[in-house]
Amino acid sequence: MEGFRDRFFSSSTVRLTIGFALAAAVLALAGWLVTGPGRLYISGFDSSIRAAVRQMHSPLWTSLFLAVTKLGSTIYLAIIGSAAGIVFIGLRWFRPLGLLIIAMSGQAILHNGAKLYFARPRPAALIGYPAAESFSFPSGHALSAFCLYATVVWLIANRLENPAVKAAISAAALLLIFLIGLSRLYIGVHYPSDVLAGWLAAGIWTAAVISADKKNL
C-alpha cells in the first residue's frame, strides 16, 4: 500500500510540475513577444480586434458584459471557489478539494508573476469603466476564471454517471469562460493578446491539474 501511495503521489507531482512549467513557459514566450520583438505585429492584431469589438457596442451588449465580467473578478471567484470547497468537504471529496486549491494557487502565481515581470500597460477602456491599477498582461480574469470554472466542473463531472449532465455542465463552463474573456475585450481593459495568453496558459495548467485527479490515474 505504501509503495502504491508513493507512486500515486509521485505521478501527480510530476504531472503538476510539468504542467506548471509549461504554462509558465507559454506566458514567458507570449510576454516576450508582446513586449519585445513581436510588439509591432501583435499591436496591429490587437488594434484590429479592438476596432471590430468597438463596432459591436450596444446598450444590450454593454449590460451583458458588465454583468459577466464580474464572474471573473477576484471577489466573485473567491466566493464561488470557497462555496465549491465547502461542498467538496461536505461530500468528503478531499482530493478534489486539494486539486482545486492547487489550481487556484498556481494560477495566482502564474498571472501575478507575469504581470509584475512584463509590466505591460493597459489599453484605454472602450466604455466608461473604472481604471484597473494592475498591469495588462496576461488577463487575470481570463486565466483565473478558466482555472476555477474548468477545474470545478471537471472534478464534479468526472464523478457523475449521466453523460448528458456531464456534457451540459461542461458546455456551460466553456461558454462562461469564453464570455468572461470576451467581456474584457468588449470593455477594453485588456488587449486581445492578453486574453489569448491567459486562456492558453490556463488551459495547460488546468489540464495538468485535472490529469492528477485519481479518476485518471
Amino acid at 114: A
Please tell me the predicted confidence (pLDDT) of residue 161.
Answer: 87
Please tell me the predicted confidence (pLDDT) of residue 16.
Answer: 92
Q: Are 202 and 107 in contact (CB under 8 A)?
A: yes
What is the C-alpha separation between 113 and 107, in angstroms, rounded?
10
Contacts of 158 (CB under 8 A, 6+ apart): 210, 213, 215, 216
Please tell me the predicted confidence (pLDDT) of residue 217.
Answer: 46
Please tell me the predicted confidence (pLDDT) of residue 6.
Answer: 47
pTM over 0.85: yes
Q: pLDDT tens track of the chain, all 217 residues? A: 444 454 545 678 888 999 999 999 999 999 999 988 878 888 889 999 999 999 888 999 999 999 999 999 999 999 999 999 999 999 999 999 999 999 999 999 999 999 999 989 999 888 887 777 789 999 999 999 999 999 999 999 988 889 999 999 999 999 999 999 999 999 999 999 999 999 999 999 999 999 988 654 4
Please tell me the predicted confidence (pLDDT) of residue 2.
Answer: 46
Which residue in the block uniquely carries the three cell numbers 488587449? Answer: 191
Please tell me the predicted confidence (pLDDT) of residue 12.
Answer: 82
What is the C-alpha separation between 156 and 166, in angstroms, rounded?
8
Q: How far is CA 37 from CA 18, 30, 50, 114, 201, in A?
A: 27, 11, 21, 17, 20
3-state class percentages of the chain: helix first, strand second, coil last, to nearest 5: 80, 0, 20
What is the CATH number that goes with domain 2-216?
Answer: 1.20.144
Please tell me the predicted confidence (pLDDT) of residue 10.
Answer: 66
Please tell me the predicted confidence (pLDDT) of residue 206.
Answer: 97
Please tell me the predicted confidence (pLDDT) of residue 1.
Answer: 45
Please tell me the predicted confidence (pLDDT) of residue 4.
Answer: 42
Please tell me the predicted confidence (pLDDT) of residue 130.
Answer: 78
Please tell me the predicted confidence (pLDDT) of residue 215.
Answer: 57
Nearest residue to 101 (alpha-carbon basis) of 173, 209, 215? 209
